[in-house]
Structure 1
C-alpha cells in the first residue's frame, strides 16, 4: 500500500470563470430586443414624417427626435445595468414604461399642431406623462412590499384590483395629455377618472391598514448592561474581576467597571467598591487529627510584567 506524500502539492486547477455581472435573464434579454425594435420603429416613423410631412418646424422636430432617441438609449442601458439588483417584474415594467414614453414622445413630436402657440406645452405634457409612468412603477413596487408582509385571500384580491385601477388611472390621464389637442373629451370621461382615482386611493389604504392590525411585528433588540453590542432577552454580561477571579472590580458612577483599578490596585475616587467574595470553608470534623504544619513557601510572582497584572480580559462577545 502506497502512503501519500504529505508534502506533495495539489495540481493546479484553474478557477471557474466568474459569472458576468451584467448577465441577464432570457426574459429581460427579450425585453431589451423589444426596446431595440421600438427604437428602430420610432426612428422609421420619424423618417416617414420627415419625408411626407409638412416643412413647418422640421429642423426643431428633428432635433427633438434625436434627443428623444438618445435619452431612450441611455435609459435602456441604465435599466439593463440595474436589472440584476431588481426584481425581474420590476425590470420588465420599467423598460416597458420607457418604451411607452418613447412611442408617445415620437408621436407628440411629429403630430400636426392644431394650435401653433401650444408647441412648448407638448414638451411639458410629455414630461408629465413620464412622471405618471414612473409614479405608477413606484406605487406598484411599494404596494407589493406591503402586500407581501401579510398575504391572505382578501389582501390578494385587493392588491390585484388596486394595481389594475392604478394602471387604468394612469392610462386615463395619459390619453388627454398626449392627444387632448385633437380630442373632445366629454364630461363623463372626467367623472370616470375621478371615480377610478377614488377607488385606487381606497385600495391603496386598505392593505397598510390590514398590516397594522394583523401583520407580525418585527423583533426589537435590547441593550446589554454595559458595552456597545445589543444582547437579546435582556442578557446580562458577567462583571469583571481582579486577577484573582474572585474580587469584583469597583463600579464607576456611570455604571461601568473601573478598569484603572485593575492595573493600579487602587479604586478611582468616587467608585463604588464591592465586598470581596470569601470562599466558604467547610468545617473540619473533630474526629480528624490535625495535620503537621507545612513549611511556608515563597509567594508566587503574579503573572504579567514586573509584578503588574496582565491586561484585563475582553468582555464576552455576543453575536
Structure 2
C-alpha cells in the first residue's frame, strides 16, 4: 500500500512568492512595534498621571486599530509595488505609530494641549506621507534617464528630503518642552531650498536628454491622402479596420483604388476604374473578377432591379467619419 503524496508536494509553490522575505520581516517588525507600543501604554496607565486616562486609553486603542488596518492594507498592496517602496511605507507607518503613542501619553503642560496635539499629529502624518509620495515619484523620474550624475543628484535630494522631514517633525512633537532658536528655522529653510532644487533637476534633465516616449499612431480614414514617409506607421501597430462600402446589391464590395480608397465611380457605372483592384462581381450584369477580360461580352446575371431614379442606383452611403 502506497502513501498518497502530500498536496503541497504535488503543487509546489512558485519561487517568487508574492511577499518577499524583506516584506515579511517588515511585517514582523510592525507586529513587534504594535506590541511594544501597547506595553508602553499599559505601563503609563499603571504608573503615570491619572488625569484624563480614559480619553488617552481610547485614543490609544484608535491608534493601534488604525495602525493594524494600514499594515494589512500595505501587505495586500505590496505585490504591486516595488520592494523598497513597500518597506519604506511600512517603516513610515511604524514611525507614525511611535510618534502617536508619544503624543498621546506625554505629560501635558497646558489644559488645551489635547486638541493641539491631535492637530500636530495630523500634520506629522501629512508630512510623512507627502515625503513618501515625493520619493516614489522622484524614483520614477530617475528611471527615465538613469546616469551617474542623475543618480548622485537623486541620492543627495532624498537625503535632504529626509532631513527636512526630521527638522519639521521635531518641533511638532516637542514644542511644549523645547525652544527652537532662530538658527534652527534658518537651517530648515536652507534645507528646503536645496531639496526643491534637487527635485527640479531630474525632471529638467529628463526633458533635455531622456528618450521620448513613442506616440500612438494615427491612421487616416479611407479616401484621405496616404501618410508620408515621415509619418510611417511604427512596426507592430495594427490598423483599425473600417467597414468597406458595397454596390447597390449590398453584397459585392466596391473595387479599391491604388491609394486604398473605394472606387465610388464604379458604384454608378458598374465598371471598375482602370487600375482598381476588384474583389468580386459588380452590378449592371457584368462579372468583374480578377483576371477576367474587361472587354468581354457581358454575361446574363440575375441582378436585382434598380431602385434609384430613372434606372440609376441610389446614392452610395457616406463613408464612416473618423
> Normalising by the residue count of structure 2, what TM-score does the alignment of the two structures yield?
0.71
Shift of 1:113: 0.4
Match of 2:309 in 1: none
Match of 1:110 in 2: 105
Partner of 2:160: 165
Counterpart in 2 of 1:45? 40
Q: Is the 8 A contact 1:129 1:174 kept in 2?
A: yes
> Which deviations, in whole Å up to 9, do the C-alpha atoms of 1:63-116 show, x marking residues without a partner?
000000000000000000000000000000000000000001001100000112
Q: Which residue of 1 aligns with 2:202?
A: 207
Q: Distance in 2 between matches of 1:115 and 1:201?
A: 37
Q: Report the Cα offset of residue 23 of structure 1.
A: 3.4
* Stretches of structure 2 lacking an aligned partner (at least 5 in a row): 1-8, 277-295, 307-322
Residue matched to 1:277: 274
Quote how far apart the aligned CAs of 1:234 are: 4.8
Give, in whole Å, the separation in 2 of the partners of 1:241 and 1:107: 76
Q: Kindly report which structure 2 residues correspond to 1:1-319, keeping only aligned pairs within 5 A, or say none.
A: 16=11, 23-226=18-221, 233-234=232-233, 247-248=255-256, 257=262, 265-266=267-268, 276-277=273-274, 299=299
Q: Is the 8 A contact 1:158 1:203 kept in 2?
A: yes
1:185, 1:110 → 2: CA distance? 22
- Alignment root-mean-square deviation, CA: 3.9
Structure 1 residues 220 and 298: alpha-carbon distance in aligned structure 2, compared to 1, 3 A threshold: closer
User: Does the 8 A contact of 1:129 with 1:177 survive in 2?
Assistant: yes
* Structure 1: segments with no counterpart, 5+ residues: 1-13, 268-272, 280-295, 309-319
Instruction: For residue 221 of structure 1, report the CA deviation from its aligned partner.
Output: 2.6
Distance 1:43 1:20, change over 3 A: farther
SS in 2 for 1:161: helix
1:141/1:158 Cα in 2 relative to 1: closer, same or farther (>3 Å)?
Answer: same
Instruction: Check 1:128–1:21 CA distance in 2 against 1; reply closer, same or farther (3 A cut).
Output: farther
CA–CA separation in structure 2 for the residues paired with 1:56 and 1:97: 31
In 2, the alpha carbon distance for the partners of 1:182 and 1:197 equals: 25
> By how many angstroms is 1:248 displaced?
3.9
Shift of residue 275, structure 1, vs aligned partner? 6.8
Give the whole-Å Cα distance in 2 for the aligned partners of 1:238 and 1:275.
23
Number of residue equivalences:
262
